[in-house]
Amino acid sequence: MIEMKEIKKRFSSNGSSFEALKEVTIHIGQGEFVSIVGQSGSGKSTLLSIIGGITPPSEGKVTVDSIPIYELPIEKLADYRREYIGFVFQQFHLLSYLTAGENVMLPLCVTKHRDMEELARSALRKVGLEHKMSRLPSQLSGGEQQRVAMARAIVNSPPIVLADEPTGNLDTDTGEDIFSLLKELNKDGHTIILVTHNRELAERSQRIITVKDGRLMT
């Protein structure tokens, strides 16, 4: 499903260049639950964002369902993100002035989906927050906000869910709940790619990819 071939990623700033990924090649099959682990600055989040279509690699090719995503026009790449990818961020990234329900509906509103509200309700039901649909993020706990973010990630049933340290800002029990939700999503057929520091959680996924200094460790 996801093919990354000889991916290199360099970041340049103030005249100096930093290579975050060095010739990374990965294949991730449909329905897999993969954890990417590594130390801070190892390149794991960069890897995730390249798969997610938000950072083009400096070199190499990424194909998803045989589509070379970085060869797509910019607006088609946005469509790819909306149709193929569900993002869950460490800092939740909910819009503070929209209710939980409205936040979940965001990916649908650009396509003027007919059953938008019902789909949002269903997604929130999956994460156990249907009853808090009209609450603002500020009226929810950290764990609840992350669950709303997960509902937003799955509301349009993308085949791939990318979770970047989703438990990083949560206590252990809440983090455990979020991980369980990811497992459930995986059972529903979503391909899950989880970036985490937490080796214990990673070991409960199907496969672990370790990144060190921009390279994959075998």
Burial (Cβ within 10 Å: 0-12, 13-18, ≥19) of residue 16: exposed
In the bound complex, what is the minimum distance in angstroms from residue 18's beta carbon to other proteins? 13
Q: How far is the CB of 104 from other proteins (least distance, A)?
A: 9
CB of residue 126 to other proteins, shortest distance in Å: 18
| In the complex, minimum distance from the CB of residue 51 to other proteins, in angstroms, rounded to a whole number | 12
Distance (Å, whole) CA 122 – CA 118: 6
Between residues 66 and 112, which has the closer beta carbon with respect to other proteins?
112
DSSP 12: E
Angle at 47 between CA 44 and CA 51, to 5 degrees: 145
**Count of C-beta atoms within a 10 Å radius of residue 213:** 14
* Residue number with CB closer to other proteins (75 or 173): 75
Q: Are 80 and 51 in contact (CB under 8 A)?
A: no
Q: Taking a C-beta distance cutoff of 8 angstroms, is the pair 45, 193 a contact?
A: no
- In the complex, which residues of this chain contact other proteins (CB under 8 A)? 49, 52, 54-55, 74-75, 78-83, 85, 87, 89, 91, 93, 95-98, 101-102, 105-110, 112, 116-117, 120, 152
Q: Shortest approach of other proteins to residue 69 CB, angstroms?
A: 13
- Please identify, using beta-carbon distances, which residue of 70 and 208 lies nearer to other proteins: 70
Of 54 and 208, nearer to other proteins (C-beta) is 54
Q: Closer CB to other proteins, residue 119 or residue 202?
A: 119
Residues in the chain: 218
Phi, psi torsion values for 158, nearest 5 degrees = -75, 150
**Quick one: which of 34, 18, 38 has its CA closest to 26?**
34
> Is the CB of 38 or the CB of 107 nearer to other proteins?
107
Q: How far is the CB of 199 from other proteins (least distance, A)?
A: 25
Matching residue, tokens 């790619």? 193
